[in-house]
Amino acid sequence: MDYFASKHTAMLKDLHELVEAGILTEETAQQVSEYYDKKASTKGNRRLFVAFGILGAVLVGSGLILFIEHNWDLFSHLQKTIFAFIPLVLGQILCGTLLFRNRLESLWKEAASVFLFFSVGACIALISQIYHLKYSEEKILLIWMLLSIPIVYIMRSPMSSLLYIAGITWYGGKYAFDYHEGFSRLYWLLIAMALPYYINLLQRKSINNFTSLHNWFIPISMSLCLTLLTQDYDEALILMYFGYFSLIFAIGNSSLFSAVNTGKNGFKIIGFLGMLVILFISSNFIAFDRGFYKSIHRFNFVKDDGFIFALALIITSGIVTFLNHRWAGKSKLALWEYTGFIFLATYVLNEFTVVAVILYNIYIFAAGITFIFLGSKRNHLGLMNLGLSIIAVLAIYKFFESDLSYQLKGVLFMLVGAAFVTFNVIMLKRRRIYENQ
């Protein structure tokens, strides 16, 4: 029977059984098999088509932008101006046609939207060059983004949404990383404008590739632009970042992400790693001895905006965590969910005593051990190795801090390596025994 040649072996096995049992005729089984084959191949083609469509639009779009770098002096002002509007009008006609004919499901939608997105930028950049307008790069970017965000909602184009997030991150980064540019909180309004679309994507298509990319783009963008919350953060920066990471971690744990794999949940992973890295930095005794932390913690609680924002972020993360549990009906908090509050407490304690640094070390160690136990209990290799890695990094970090001899450090490294191998072997063995039963 040639329908066995198909890829859908599991289903085909069932079909074969049904034919043998006389429930289905061989002809029907063949039709069912063909139907699924066709469906799978059109889905694959569709994805490829969308990918190439976007790639084409991005290439044409960036070609346009490159073209601007060339101010063709051969043409008159009028000719150049007309030229600047051609791609824009073309993009509008493409998108408009799809919209008028109610063809937003069309494969061309994504490519047309991306093309329009780029031609808006090309047009305003070209006009400001032709007439030597003095608009700064930030202003051009801002106008471009504001004129493009409606494309995301009207065309329902996830790729345009990603481009928009990239664009506003560039805009925000100009202020976050360059002191000469002054200060602006406008970034937060711009990112807020992208959120309704993103939340809608999460609710409707939580496992779509575009949604997964959003899961990473948004927390990365906000991580880069966090200092745009306040200029007055000085010493409270580390606490502000901690509050932020604990908040996005809490958001990553919310019911919005319940259908999203951990690997595709940027909020959870960035939040977790961010907190871990800050804990590691804070657990350094040498830095404490040298007065690094003493100076870092000499902030004014009332005066510093940074501290207020940090506090607000930590409290919000607490509220989100509380609601997560309420809705999920869980009573027990997972270990990492209250890290924000622990960090806040030790951070204040740090002002007075080195005990805080010892507490950081104990906390990291305890977290590592807990993950190993959790991994072992749930038979989850990833969790167990995460715990092992945390302990290994902590150990190695402490070796470098201490003045142990090289031989002893070498031995300790080997012990860490051996622990990894042993734990994994034990785990795999246990799995095998379990599977054999």
Partner 1 sequence: MKTNKIAIVAFVLLAALQIYLPASWAIESAETLSYGKVLKFKTIPVDPKDLFRGNYIALNFENTRITVSDADDWKEGDNIYIVLNVDEGQFATYSHYEKDKPRPDINFVTATVKHISRSPEPYVEIEYPFSKFYVEESIAKAAETAYRNAIAEGHNTYAVVMAENGKTVLKDVYIDSKSLTDGLKD
**Closer residue to partner 1, CB minimum distance, 135 or 188:** 135
Q: Is the CB of 130 or the CB of 202 nearer to partner 1?
A: 130
Residue type, 358: I
Longest dimension (CA), the chain: 83
**Least distance from C-beta 67 to partner 1, angstroms?**
10
- Taking the complex as a whole, the smallest distance from the CB of residue 63 to partner 1 amounts, in Å, to 15
Nearer to partner 1, 68 or 412 (CB): 68
Which is nearer to partner 1, 152 or 278 (by Cβ)?
Answer: 152
Strands (E) in 205-283, as ranges, are none
Could you tell me the end-to-end alpha-carbon distance of the chain, in angstroms, rounded to an integer?
36
Output Rg (C-alpha) for the chain, integer angstroms.
Answer: 28
Cα–Cα distances (Å) from 83 to 121, 171, 411, in that order, read: 14, 27, 70
Residues that bind partner 1 (CB under 8 A): 69-73, 77-78, 81, 84-85, 88-89, 92, 95-96, 99-100, 102, 120, 123-124, 126-134, 143, 147, 150-151, 153-154, 182
Determine the Cα–Cα distance for residues 275 and 264; give it in Å rounded to an integer: 18
Cβ contact 161:199 at 8 Å: no
Give the residue with the Cβ less far from partner 1, 88 or 226.
Answer: 88
Half-sphere exposure at residue 240, Cβ-oriented, CA atoms within 13 angstroms: 24
**What are the distances in angstroms from CA 359 to CA 57, 116, 283, 284, 285?**
54, 54, 8, 11, 11
| Residue number with CB closer to partner 1 (131 or 352) | 131
365: nearest Cα among 337, 332, 393, 403: 393
Instruction: Classify residue 275 as exposed, middle or buried by CB count within 10 Å of its CB (0-12, 13-18, 19+).
Output: buried
Q: Toward partner 1, which CB reaches closer, 111 or 388? A: 111
**Which strand (E) or helix (H) includes residue 316?**
helix 305-328
133 or 195: CB nearest partner 1 = 133
How many other C-beta atoms lie within 10 A of the C-beta of residue 393?
15
Cβ-Cβ contacts under 8 Å for 384 (sequence gap 6 or more)? 371, 372, 374, 375, 376, 423, 424, 427
112 neighbors 155 (Cβ within 8 angstroms) = yes
Minimum distance from CB of 73 to partner 1 (Å)? 5
